[in-house]
Amino acid sequence: MARAGRKRKVGERYPAGQIRPQDDGPSPAIVKRLRSAAILGMADPHWGSVAGLWYLQKVIDDSEYEAAKRFGDLHAQYIGVIGGPRPPKTSTGERMSKSQNVDVDTHQGDLEAQRHIAVMTKYNDVHTSLLMLNPLTEAELIRFCAMPGETPTGHEGIIRIRAGLRALADLWKISK
């Protein structure tokens, strides 16, 4: 004969019989505190980005978050490289400065050129792998991973972000 009453909820239980709560990630208060601290400069700035928020809310996993951080840093380096050499400090109003442009014929200039070539090579590898997915994926990832980032629009944008981050994690061999 069947037992009368409510059905018993399924789930892992404590020895006393109460159901154990499932781990749904950090509480919203912790997420808000960490994000505010990042925006104020008291914590890692990546936590203040959209990718950091998605990671804290468990929308993306560890490897996708690491790929987002690396892509954001690589894109910032790429922008710095294509922007050309830095202007001397004297041109920005800082008088009595000993700053000078890097001379390309010196060892320091050669190192700077090698750094530029390395950044361009890495970025071109990323560009070709993202282009194979979808032409819009790279633009979505730039908006998503650049600090502070923008939330993608629509369901297709979210799918492109996740696919792009998975492709970058595979390219850079980032494991979970």
For the segment 56-103, what is each residue's pLDDT rounded down to a tens digit? 888 899 999 999 999 999 999 999 888 766 555 555 555 555 545 666
pLDDT at residue 36 greater than cutoff 90: no
Residue 27 backbone class (left: φ over 0; alpha: ψ -120 to 50; beta: rest): beta
Q: What is the pLDDT of residue 29?
A: 85
**DSSP of 48-76:** GSHHHHHHHTTSS-HHHHHHHHHHHHHHH
Q: For the residues 1-7, what does the mean pLDDT come to?
A: 74
Can you give the pTM of this predicted structure?
0.73
Mean pLDDT (the chain, rounded): 84
Q: What is the pLDDT of residue 126?
A: 95
How distant, in Å, are the alpha carbons of 3, 84, 98, 101, 104 from that of 111? 78, 15, 20, 14, 9
